Amino acid sequence: MASDVIRPQSKSCCAVSIECVGQKKAIDRHLLDLLVCPITKSSLEYNADRSELISWHAQLAFPIVDGIPLLVREASRVLTDNDI
């Protein structure tokens, strides 16, 4: 698992955003708290190195393109042994 991973904390409602911090993108923790895997409904982890949301239960990575999480199966990639 990469070192630049953000995990959800609490279920709360606030302003959400994905913004650039240096050369990497940062995800608002509140957005991460609200998003779930579209397949398993489990929580997601943010991988800043790859700009992806990871669903460990579904073994899928969902890309974030232009600040928009693409939470559809067709846009995801299957996690490999290198991702674990």
The label of the residue with tokens 């669903």 reads 55
Task: Measure the CA–CA gap between 57 and 49, rounded to whole angstroms.
Answer: 20
Q: At 67, is the secondary structure helix, strand, or coil? A: coil
What are φ and ψ of residue 82, in 5° steps?
A: -70, -20
pTM (predicted TM-score): 0.72
Give the pair of three-digit tokens for residue 57: 């239960």
* Residue-level pLDDT, tens digit, the chain, 84 residues: 445 665 655 444 333 445 555 555 678 888 899 999 999 999 999 999 999 999 999 999 999 998 899 999 999 999 999 987
The whole domain housing 49 covers 5-83
For the domain that residue 48 is a member of, what is the CATH number? 2.20.25.10
The label of the residue with tokens 């067709």 reads 74
Give the pair of three-digit tokens for residue 75: 């846009």
**Helix residue ranges per DSSP H, 8-77:** 29-34
| Domains held by the chain: number | 1
